[in-house]
Amino acid sequence: MQFSEIVFFGIVWGGLMIYFLTPFNKKTSIEIQESTDVTFSKAFKNSLTKLLFHNKAILALLMLMITLIYIWMYYTSIEWYFRVHGEVVQSINPMERAFYYMISIILYTAFLYLFLAFRKTIKLLKKPN
């Protein structure tokens, strides 16, 4: 993939992941705001669980799994094509490239998840009690 394709994919895929991982405002909990001894770690743990356990997070997990399966099947078919047609494999093995893309997507997803949890934690801590 060219760099512009990767950037475009990252923007669209990241936007969808942020949408799926962000709960609706009605569903957010205010129980952490009511306690007086709120620490950053408690608020961060609360943010992690609130982002992960709501209805739209299932769609985020589904999107991640479908993306990983698609990448694996795409590069498996490229390897199969090279074997069937007797073509010389490029300098990098297609399965290595699939592995790199899959690890990159998992790391990108983890980064987005932690970023959203950190952002929600900061918002919870800044609100007046």
pLDDT, tens digit (0-9, with 9 covering 90-100), for 75-99? 899 888 887 887 776 667 888 889 9
More confident residue, 37 or 67: 67
Residue 88 backbone phi and psi in degrees, to 5: -75, 130
Integer Cα distance of 116 and 28 in angstroms: 14
Contact 44, 90 (CB under 8 A): no
Q: What confidence tier does 110 reach under pLDDT thresholds 50, 70, 90?
A: very high
Integer Cα distance of 115 and 40 in angstroms: 14
Residue whose token pair is 């990108």:
108
Predicted pLDDT at 61: 93
Amino acid at 109: T
Where is mean pLDDT largest: 26-30, 31-35, 107-111?
107-111
